[in-house]
Amino acid sequence: SGPLDKEQMQGLRGVREFLKVRTSYDVLPLSFRLVVLDNNLLIKKSLNILIQNGIVSAPLWDSQNSAFAGLLTSTDFINVIQYYCQFPDEIAHIDQFRLSSLRDIERAIGVLPLETVSVHPMRPLYEACRRMLKTRARRIPLVDRDDETGREMVVSVITQYRILKFIAVNNEQYTMLLKKPVRELGLGTYKDLATATMGSSVLDVIHLMVKYNISAVPIIDENNKVLNLFEAVDVIPCIKGGAYDELSATVGEALSRRAEEFGGIYTCNEDDRLDAIFDTIRKSRVHRLIVVDDDNRLKGIISLSDILKYVLLYGEEDDDIRGN
């Protein structure tokens, strides 16, 4: 191994040490807002609340038992859509479903419930990362217990993006050592990519996301050039107000309904180095990178979990949590 490998390992070790001495609590900003939804709320209403607050996920609260009841995410809405596809005659009932029926919906369509993992905010951040990779959770609620009442309290939710951003902002001295290009690291997925075109229906894209267990599908033209990216969160405005019949609309139509503040999509080249990717994460709200060639043709996709997995596990002995 050359000097580049040595530096790379030094950088990775630095970041790992950092994650071991910081807690999930450290990732949180000094002041923040947390929207928690009552489990008894109509699903329909929860959609409006998410949209109004400009968020895509929220912890659920069971007020009867005063307990944390899981995390509402775009996967839940995709499950409702699958339910609608399997039981189209039930549309009148779907309108009356409450958040507490999400588990019944999972059972009805035969998907396994997402593991509701949570971590204590004062545990090492490294532990939260390992747990994220192990369970494939994209976000983890931080749950504490009130000393006096013994009740659970949801403090906040940390996401892969927040963790990577926290690493990028606080570890420039280590991330600058990560000089190996994406191509050499084999970072991301390059074979058997799920893609769609502007003319595909929203429903087709949702089925792809379910089949591949992914949350974004690149939209390409007939020459394999990248035009856009359809994300699981783009589903939310599509079904606002119970407009399930609009899912037959095309991707092109759906993307034109994106909010004004949409941050855009991020691309990179196979020759880009990991330090450059950390620069992008430091500066922008990136959720995944589409790998393109010089002609903007699709080569691959790098998700935040690919990056987190590499940063945490590359070169480690412990193979069982690698999840491959």
On whether the CB atoms of residues 226 and 298 are closer than 8 A, the answer is yes
On whether the CB atoms of residues 296 and 225 are closer than 8 A, the answer is yes
Least separation, in Å, of the C-beta of 193 and ligand ATP?
Answer: 4
β-pair type (58-62, 37-38): parallel
* Part of the chain binding ligand ATP (CB under 6 A), chosen from 44-52, 77-85, 207-215, 277-285: 207-215
Pattern 123-152, ligand ATP, x by CB under 6 A: ---------------x--------------
- Single out the residue of 287, 24, 58, 60 nearest to residue 158, CA to CA: 24
Is residue 49 at the binding interface for ligand ATP, with CB under 6 A as the rule? no
Least separation, in Å, of the C-beta of 141 and ligand ATP?
Answer: 16
Q: Which of 306, 307, 310, 313 binds ligand ATP (CB under 6 A)?
A: 306
Is residue 305 at the binding interface for ligand ATP, with CB under 6 A as the rule? yes
Instruction: Give the full edge-to-edge strand order of the sheet including 288-292.
Output: 266-268, 288-292, 298-303
Least separation, in Å, of the C-beta of 257 and ligand ATP?
Answer: 21
Total number of residues that touch ligand ATP (CB under 6 A): 19
Instruction: Give the full edge-to-edge strand order of the sheet including 58-62.
Output: 37-38, 58-62, 67-72
Pattern 159-198, ligand ATP, x by CB under 6 A: -x---------------------------xx---xx----
Task: Please state, in angstroms and rounded to a whole number, the distance separating the CA atoms of residues 223 and 135.
Answer: 36
Q: Which is nearer to ligand ATP, 94 or 286 (CB)?
A: 286
Task: Please state, in angstroms and rounded to a whole number, the distance separating the CA atoms of residues 43 and 35.
Answer: 15
Task: Please state, in angstroms and rounded to a whole number, the distance separating the CA atoms of residues 97 and 179.
Answer: 51
Q: Which of 15, 129, 196, 217 binds ligand ATP (CB under 6 A)?
A: 217
Least separation, in Å, of the C-beta of 64 and ligand ATP?
Answer: 32
Task: Please state, in angstroms and rounded to a whole number, the distance separating the CA atoms of residues 40 and 104.
Answer: 14
Instruction: Kindly list the distances between the CA atom of residue 77 and the CA atoms of 22, 43, 70, 211, in Å, as whole numbers in the listed order.
Output: 34, 9, 14, 15
Is residue 212 at the binding interface for ligand ATP, with CB under 6 A as the rule? yes
Task: Please state, in angstroms and rounded to a whole number, the distance separating the CA atoms of residues 301 and 187.
Answer: 9
Q: Which of 67, 214, 227, 249 binds ligand ATP (CB under 6 A)?
A: 214
* Part of the chain binding ligand ATP (CB under 6 A), chosen from 85-93, 108-116, 165-173, 213-221: 213-221
Give the pair of three-digit tokens for residue 8. 């790379």
Is residue 286 at the binding interface for ligand ATP, with CB under 6 A as the rule? no
On whether the CB atoms of residues 226 and 218 are closer than 8 A, the answer is yes
Task: Please state, in angstroms and rounded to a whole number, the distance separating the CA atoms of residues 129 and 166.
Answer: 12
Least separation, in Å, of the C-beta of 212 and ligand ATP?
Answer: 6
Least separation, in Å, of the C-beta of 240 and ligand ATP?
Answer: 21
Least separation, in Å, of the C-beta of 303 and ligand ATP?
Answer: 3
User: 58 — phi, psi (to 5°)?
Assistant: -160, 145
β-pair type (216-220, 226-231): antiparallel
Q: Which is nearer to ligand ATP, 200 or 303 (CB)?
A: 303
Is residue 287 at the binding interface for ligand ATP, with CB under 6 A as the rule? yes
Least separation, in Å, of the C-beta of 53 and ligand ATP?
Answer: 20
Task: Note the residues at the interface with ligand ATP (CB under 6 A).
Answer: 138, 160, 188-189, 193-194, 212, 214-218, 287-288, 301, 303-306
